[in-house]
Amino acid sequence: MRWSIVLMLSATLAGASAPLITTSSDSDITLNASLGNNRDSQSFDPLTYTPIDQRIAKLETQSKQQNSDSTDTNRVRARLVIADIHLNNRKPREAIAALDKLETEYPVLADYVLLKRAQAQTQLRDLQAAKATWEQLLAKFPDSPASAEAMFALGQNQQLLQKFPAHPRSQEVTLRLLAQDPNRVDLMAHLATYFSDYKEIVPILNRLVASSPSLTSDQWWAIADGYYNKFEFGRAANAYARATVNPITAYNYARSLHRGKQFDNAIAAYNRVVQQFPQSPQAPRALIRITQIDSPEAAIAATDRIVTSYPDTAGEALGIKAAILQDKLDSPKSASDVRNLLISRYGSSNDAGELRWRIAKGQGRGGQIKNAIATVDALIANSPDSTSAAEASFWAGKWANQIGDKAKAKKFFEFAIRQHPDSYFAWRSASSLGWNVGTFTTARYVAPAIAIPSARVSLPAGSAKLQELYILGLDRDAQSQWLTELRGKRNLEPKEIFTDGVLRVANLDNLIGIKTLESLNWIDVPNSQKAEIAQLKQHPAYIHSLYPFHYWDIISNWSRDRKLSPALVIGLMRQESRFEAQIRSRSGAIGLMQIMPDTGSWIASKKGVNSYNLDRPEDNINFGTWYLDYTHSRFSDNSMLAVASYNAGPGAIGRWVESRGLGDPDEFVNNIPYDETRDYVSKVLGNYWNYLRLYSPSIQQQITALEQPNNINASSKF
């Protein structure tokens, strides 16, 4: 069941191919059917996850209200959403009725009203009417991305590529033309510039580079990014060497050499980043990278340069220096001096927190429980946001319980939940406090009421039209609008990264979308943008996009049938596949719940099923939940062992339990011998917790109570 980023995906939604419909009209025009907004016909609304008929009934009530200005806005919005839902469910007559005269009442999206009308007319096969509407759209809104759909439908391919080069329809046209003439340099360059994340971009880039055309430095930058994101590091380095020179391309050139194991060249390239762009956020990161591949002496020199010139990265540099002195230069006294400097001068840094946690763990293992608790107290007081604070506070709570200090334990557990609510250790802390969030042995049965938010807040980047499309849930249109507005921009601002990630997830481009949002945690940016990123992460779309509810109706049905917590199933699915239905692992595991073909055959024989398709979400979730139920039955409903065996196999987990015993389950998790499985368990159960704490009103109330000023003041002093 092991998962890796090796994809064999179908075309992404934004560029999915539409069928061709040929008309026998006088103009003998070929109309490309531009149909619908999101996915195939569904019984559940993809925004609210309520049955379609219920959603439409609610929207129709809104559409009939005529009172205040705000109600009028809701009324016209409701009509467009109704039309879109009908289009997605192949009910074009109902869509046309909802759209009647709507363009005059809804001017901000009048272009998209015409787009929906043309799509509905195409579904009806009324191609003459569709042609007239497409032409009306082009005449009235020539600069709107909606007109790209009209150009596509009317076969105006060259005009489409020139006017809307970054629109998803341009990708589709380019691929179609390239299939006819695979060596057209202009088409290959177009894909590289605007669609370098295309799933099969590497062979195209290879042909483009081999043709030795006269490419611009920005085109080389796009080519380099395409290679880099597909892990073609040697080719990426060659392209970055010709790309536009800036701190990002210079660093990525060095990083490509590094990841391609050309270490001497990488060291020289990293040093050039520091020399050419000393004030960039990439400069200290380049020096950090040097410490990973250069000699111990050179690495020490690099850490000293960081401490001298880059105080914001000094804590990290001192942590690295201490480790080198201790492990590679056999100088424990010097290493101790560096650690003391780290604590005394950079005590609030993340690395000082990591150091204090290592000390506390050693004290705990040595039986010095009170000293270990005191060390965690210092960690929390000095670096409460460090990456180790949640784990440290949870274990300090366990230690406090061991010595009978229940009040102190409670404060540690509450700190982990309040300060690091998204962590696995927040779940372990909530469980230790007796919250109804499940334990290792009861998680499979925890299924509190779930409330999925459907109201949306404007995104931080993009036009007013984009915001309106996104708020309405017209996600494919919103992404087309967004990509057109970006126009292939390479160096995105944090707010643009955020918007791009949210829209990708909304359109089921989850693997890249979630990774894009997660990148906000680690990208190197100027200090001025760090506060901006912290603010962006408070936007509700951030956490809801990291933990989306794709396939929730199917998950809920099969979880109920197997008596499994839906939160546990969706948490496991998020880890296995990031909700990519056609994903493949290196080992051949298939689909949403990453089922090996042999395992699928075995499950089918147990279920008495002869026909199934693991690429089909319904079948994959059916089989995956059956197997998760099976692993639970193998280990007496212990979800920690069941989840571990989903990854490593029941046989391996059984041998570990037999040879070592279960004992303290938290210690058992820490001592799982496979790094992948150990990490897998904490991530799946951390996902499970996040779905509960984000979407269960009862658990949200408990977390909110911890955040009240009186509770914060009472629990902040350890």
Question: Quick one: pLDDT at residue 710?
Answer: 65
**Treating both helix axes as pointing N-terminal to C-terminal, what angle do 510-518 and 494-506 enclose, rounded to 10 degrees?**
150
Q: What is the pLDDT of residues 372-427, one digit of tens each?
A: 999 999 999 999 999 999 999 999 999 999 999 999 999 999 999 999 999 999 99
Q: What is the pLDDT of residues 597-641, one digit of tens each?
A: 999 999 999 999 999 999 999 999 999 999 999 999 999 999 999
Rounded distance between C-alpha atoms, residue 685 and residue 568, angstroms: 7
Question: Quick one: pLDDT at residue 213?
Answer: 79
Question: Quick one: pLDDT at residue 40?
Answer: 46
Question: Quick one: pLDDT at residue 62?
Answer: 81
Question: Quick one: pLDDT at residue 703?
Answer: 96
Q: What is the pLDDT of residues 305-352, one digit of tens each?
A: 999 999 999 999 999 999 999 999 999 999 999 999 999 999 999 999
Q: Which residues contact 163 (CB under 8 A, 6 or more apart)?
A: 147, 148, 151
Q: Is the dihedral of CA 185, 186, 192, 195 positive or negative?
A: negative
Q: Considering the domain 552-705 in this protein, what is its CATH number?
A: 1.10.530.10
Burial of 155 (0-12, 13-18, 19+ CB in 10 A): middle
Of 16 and 184, more confident: 184
Residue 708 pLDDT exceeds 70: yes
Q: Which residues contact 470 (CB under 8 A, 6 or more apart)?
A: 456, 458, 459, 462, 478, 502, 503, 506
Question: Quick one: pLDDT at residue 44?
Answer: 78
Q: Considering the domain 350-434 in this protein, what is its CATH number?
A: 1.25.40.10
Q: Which of 103, 576, 676, 707 is catalytic?
A: 576
Which three-class secondary structure state does DSSP give residue 46?
coil
Residue 128 pLDDT exceeds 80: yes
Class of domain 30-154: mainly alpha
Contact 189, 180 (CB under 8 A): no
Task: Taking residues 228-232, report their average pLDDT.
Answer: 96
Q: How far apart are the first and last CA of the chain?
A: 43
- Structural tokens at position 126: 């009324």
* Pick from 373, 351, 253: nearest CA to 306: 351
Using 50, 70 and 90 to split pLDDT, how confident is the model at 67?
low
Q: Which residues contact 634 (CB under 8 A, 6 or more apart)?
A: 641, 642, 645, 650, 654
Using 50, 70 and 90 to split pLDDT, how confident is the model at 593?
very high
Task: Taking residues 680-701, report their average pLDDT.
Answer: 97
Q: What is the pLDDT of residues 537-555, one digit of tens each?
A: 999 999 999 999 999 999 9
Of 36 and 212, more confident: 212
Please give the share of the chain, as a percent, with pLDDT higher than 90. 87
Please give the mean pLDDT across all residues of the chain.
92
Using 50, 70 and 90 to split pLDDT, how confident is the model at 66?
low
Which three-class secondary structure state does DSSP give residue 31?
strand
Please report which residue ranges of 67-153 form alpha helices under DSSP H.
69-88, 92-99, 102-105, 110-123, 127-140, 146-153
493 is catalytic: no
Residue 35 pLDDT exceeds 50: no
- Structural tokens at position 327: 């492990």
Question: Quick one: pLDDT at residue 635?
Answer: 97
Task: Taking residues 146-170, report their average pLDDT.
Answer: 98
Contact 160, 40 (CB under 8 A): no
Task: Taking residues 655-678, report their average pLDDT.
Answer: 94
Residue 535 pLDDT exceeds 50: yes
Please spell the DSSP secondary structure of 683-703, one letter per residue.
Answer: HHHHHHHHHHHHH-HHHHHHH
Which three-class secondary structure state does DSSP give residue 595?
strand
Rounded distance between C-alpha atoms, residue 528 and residue 677, angstroms: 39
Residue 21 pLDDT exceeds 80: no
Torsion angle defined by CA atoms of residues 313, 318, 320 and 323, in that order, rounded to the nearest 10 degrees: -170
